[in-house]
Amino acid sequence: MATKKKEYEKRPWGDYEVLKREPGMWVKRIEVKPHARLSLQKHAQRKEHWIITAGRGIVRIGDNDISVEKNSVVDIPVETFHRMSNVGDEPMIFIEVAFGEYLEEDDSVRSEDDYGRA
């Protein structure tokens, strides 16, 4: 039986691991360092569903900021700017379930980024 290679990435704000990938869907575990945040970004071809499993944060979706903590759930529509900010002293962990015809990292358009990425 073939072993699948893990999809894991370190980022300036933390890291993520793809737990499951199949056509039209992926499941990621994302960990955000204390007081760090992801870039403000949107995706042209996927929507996302986030389930917070640890920590406290602020999720920006469009023009709205939403406080989240363990057991919170948020939905991010296609073409909507969004970001997760960890406001606590502990890691913020959430599960991302993404749905779309095209699921690759190059479907991200960044508007703001704390780490100078385009």
pLDDT in tens, 42-75: 999 999 999 999 999 999 999 999 999 999 999 9
- Band of the pLDDT at 5, cuts 50, 70, 90? low
Provide the pLDDT for residue 109: 86
Please tell me the distance from the alpha carbon of residue 44 to that of residue 36, in angstroms, as a whole number. 25
Domains of the chain: 13-106 (2.60.120.10)
25: left (phi over 0), alpha (psi -120 to 50) or beta: beta
92 C-beta neighbours (distance < 10 Å), count: 30
Q: How far apart are the first and last CA of the chain?
A: 40
The CA dihedral of 40, 46, 57, 36, to the nearest 10 degrees, is -40
Q: The pTM is what? A: 0.90
If one compares 116 and 30, the residue with the highest pLDDT of the two is 30
pLDDT at 3 over 80: no
Angle at 78 between CA 73 and CA 82, to 5 degrees: 60
Task: Calculate the average pLDDT of the chain.
Answer: 93
Reading the block at residue 105, the tokens are 């990292």
Mean pLDDT in residue range 28-45: 96
Amino acid at position 50, single letter: W
